[in-house]
Chain A
Amino acid sequence: MTADTATTTRYRGERRWTPRNVLLVVVGLLVGALTVFPLVWMLSGAFKTVDEVNDPALIPASPTWENFTYVFTQVPFARYLLNSLLVAGAVTLIALWFHSMAAYALARLQFPGREKLFAAIFATLLVSLPVVMIPTFLVIRTLGLLDSYAGLIVPAIFNAFGIFLLRQFYISLPPELEEAALVDGASYWRIYRSIIVPLSRPILAALAVFFFLANWNAFVWPLTITSDPDLRVVQLGIALFQQQYASDWNYVLAASTVAALPTLLVFFFFQRQIVESIKSAGFK
């Protein structure tokens, strides 16, 4: 039997309603429903009027689209969405690229001081945000990146989490992978591009989801380094509806619902990649 057919039987078999599967589906849906419950309430709150937004009823008495209209007409929410898209998208793309390169070198290339360098990179994971925030702010200011897209994007790229995860993935790939290519005289860059990256699709897809979400949900950093209203990201936009004493929760909920949609789309798209990309690794 070839590896390919094994993979196929494992991942593309029919999804039948066997008793075991029924049990699993019921368990899955039950846990899923519990997990989604708070979100459903957010969704329903987004359609409630200000009169009933604190009412625990799940179904709005008189559902309205008005909150959404308000969110888009009262503040430039589309602009905030676009800013977040730009920032989160750029960070995700660059970070995936840089981290996969670094992780490849740390996992599969031989060079002196490799383990020490990895330890140093890993150690940067151990910082606690409240104590490095002010020094980081100083660095950003010294580099002239305050109040700019670069200030939102560049510092967010560098995070040892992705490097560590990819390294753990790469060290478990069989060593024979590169050997044939090396014998054929391929460069390391070529091996990285044509062998390693295609093989890492599941893990890169998972990381893409993490990076995108983490940056889409970023609040403290954008709040700390931007003043220009044109640079506001979506989470700052949501905070605008929280007034000093009384918040307009129906607008906050509508804005949060709108903000959740792109992240859900990203997840729907990438979860297939995470699971189905095993096909491309089938020759292992």
Chain B
Amino acid sequence: MTTSLSRRDALRVGVLGTAAAGLGLAGCSSGSSASSPLQFWQQYAPATQTEPNLVAQNDWFLDAVARWQQAGGRPIEPVFIPAYTDPTNTRLATAFASNAGPDLFLISPGDFLRYYNGGVLEDLTPYLDDDVVEDYYPEALATRTIDGRIYGLPMEQEPLAIFYDVAALEDAGLSEADLPSTWEDMLELGRRLTTGQRAGLVLDTTPSYYQNFTFYPWMWQGGGEVVDPGTQRSGFASDAVVQALQLYSDSVSTGAAPRTLPAAGDVVGAFRNGFAAMWQTGVWQVEAFAQNAPDHEYGVLTLPTPPGGEAVTSLGGWAFVVNSKGRDPEAAAQFTAATIGSMSQESIDAGVQWNGVGKGNIPARRSVTEAIGDTGAFENPWLQYFRDEVLPGGRGEPRYPPPVLKAVSNAIQAVQLAGADPVEQAETAHRAIESYLVTYEGAELR
């Protein structure tokens, strides 16, 4: 076996080795043949595990593809990518850089702009009826819309809030009446709840797009902006930004918040073992608690605000996008529209299945919210709370290019973990963003 293998290689080497060198990175798009099914990369199906929620999510994708095919659409093959949501996963980037990207894939807001500016996102607007566009919550579409055209169709909205552990409050002799509504009270309570093994208040600590995502609301609450949507200039050297950076600085320096995530970032595990009392995280934890600790008593709280600030939070969530350099962008876009972006009963039902049964999170469309009502996953009062109390203050995670994201991340990290001065750091980031924007030529930042 070994000899034949090496000989075959040797032959291929001669013919193709030089060809590979000549191809460069702009190599021709080949891969699978033109008639094979379109590939849909995501993190849900086909899955092998049999936990009920995972099965429901898996079935949702398989059903959508089957319906599409029955209606005579071009076959689509869901491809499960392990660790797809892990920011260190290089699979998608490698495939696109080699012009071997999938025809259809799920994208998170932090990546959206780079793919758009790379020219690989198909305009979905022609495939969407006006009433569907109306049906979407404006905030869900805003950051995926460029010059009035829609390039990504969200399947959910994921707002951030504070989760708290009821037992932690009780241990400190407190009740839900003592929950904070201001930053000051939040830090004070964080300090009080920090005991022994327990971290009082957890704000994200790992440098990443995700940490930026969790930082924005604190900045927005006082009216701060990374990039001013109107002028497209840096807004980072503002009082509101400095104030939010000061909050991160104080949270660690006063001992209210830890420097690393308890329980390696597992919120449910941390609450259950008494390692954390409050944690700024997203709606997805409701489902995580339902699955892994259905009896654990926890609660949800809209983000506390600074003096005179308004209650704002950021919204995440995965969206369908179509590779415009794929084999059949038109079919892929039609599939996307038929599945999650049509006023047909089927499409609304699919939304109900996804948001109300399979994944248990906030729909991106009003008709789906209405159809779910308080049934299914939304029997859970905390999911209702997210829908009724948290979502109205929501704003879509903005799309920024990597150098801007990095400048913001550096400022957060420096004040939070290295004790740097918020004013100085805001100024440094401001200059970095400004000088980058001078030559920036991509889509509008918002």
**Direct contact between the two chains A and B in their complex (CB within 8 A):** yes
B267 at the interface (CB under 8 A from A): yes
- A280 cross-chain contacts in B, Cβ below 8 A: none
Q: Mark B71-88, 1 if CB is under 8 A from A, else 0.
A: 000000001111101100
Q: Is the beta-carbon distance between A54 and B269 smaller than 8 angstroms?
A: yes
A134 touches B94 (CB 8 A): yes
Are A142 and B90 in contact, with the CB atoms below 8 A?
Answer: no
Q: Digit string of A224-247 for contact with B (CB within 8 Å is 1, else 0)?
A: 100101001000100111111111
Give the docked Cα–Cα distance between A16 and B79 (Å): 60
Do residues A246 and B48 form an inter-chain contact, with CB atoms below 8 A?
no
Q: In whole Å, how far is A258's beta carbon from the nearest beta carbon of chain B?
A: 16
With a cutoff of 8 Å between Cβ atoms, the chain A residues found around residue B285 in the complex are: 245-246
Which residue on A lies nearest to B96, using beta carbons? A134
Q: Are B292 and A75 in contact (CB under 8 A)?
A: no
- Interface check A47, CB cutoff 8 A: no
* Closest B residue by C-beta to A135: B25
B94→A94 contact, CB < 8 A: no
Q: Is the CB of B263 within 8 A of A54?
A: yes
Partner of A223, one of B31, B49, B91: B91
A53–B275 alpha-carbon span in the complex (Å) = 13
Which residue of B has the minimal Cβ distance to A248? B292
Task: Name, among A134, A154, A245, the residue most crowded by chain B CB atoms within 10 Å (CB to CB).
Answer: A245
Q: CB-defined interface of B25-60 with A at 8 Å, one 1/0 digit per residue?
A: 101001100000001000100111111001000000
Q: Are B98 and A54 in contact (CB under 8 A)?
A: no
Give the contact-size bracket for chain B: 35 or more
Closest to B41 in A: A227
> Out of A55, A94, A142, A249, which one reaches B23, CB within 8 Å?
A142
Is B94 touching A133 in the complex (CB atoms < 8 A)? yes
**Interface residue? A183 (CB, 8 A):** no
Contacting pair B43 A244 (CB below 8 A):
yes
The docked-state distance in angstroms from the alpha carbon of A53 to that of B293 is 12
B20 interface residue per 8 A CB criterion? yes
Determine if B288 and A236 form an interchain contact, defined as CB atoms under 8 angstroms apart.
Answer: no
Q: With an 8 A cutoff between CB atoms, is A150 at the interface?
A: yes
Taking a contact as CB atoms under 8 Å apart, the answer to whether A223 and B83 are in contact is yes
Contact (Cβ within 8 A) B98 A137: yes
Known: A93-B2, A133-B90, A154-B9. A50 touches B292 (CB 8 A): yes
With A74-B49, A239-B83, A246-B267 as contacts: A134 and B97 at CB distance below 8 Å: yes
A52 to B20 Cα, complex, angstroms: 52
Do A150 and B5 contact each other (CB < 8 Å), given the known contacts A55-B273, A246-B266? yes
In the complex the two chains form, what is the Cα distance from A220 to B81 in whole Å? 12
Pair A143/B2 contact, Cβ less than 8 Å: no
- B288 to A: closest C-beta gap in Å: 4
Given contacts A97-B2, A223-B83, A247-B266, contact A138 B20 (CB under 8 A): yes
**Interface 0/1 of A142-186, CB less than 8 Å to B:** 110010001001100000000000000000000000000000000
Q: Does A141 contact B (CB under 8 A)?
A: yes
Give the interface of B toward A (CB within 8 A).
Answer: 1-2, 5-6, 9, 12, 16-17, 19-20, 23, 25, 27, 30-31, 39, 43, 46-51, 54, 79-83, 85-86, 89-91, 94-95, 97-98, 100, 263-264, 266-270, 272-273, 275, 282, 284-285, 287-288, 291-293
Can you list 28 contacts pairing A with B, beta carbon distance less than 8 Å?
A: A54-B272, A54-B273, A133-B90, A137-B94, A138-B20, A138-B23, A138-B27, A138-B98, A141-B30, A146-B31, A153-B5, A220-B90, A223-B81, A223-B83, A223-B89, A223-B90, A224-B90, A227-B79, A232-B82, A239-B83, A240-B48, A240-B82, A245-B285, A246-B267, A246-B285, A246-B291, A246-B292, A247-B266
* 3 A-B pairs closest in CB distance: A246-B288, A54-B269, A142-B20
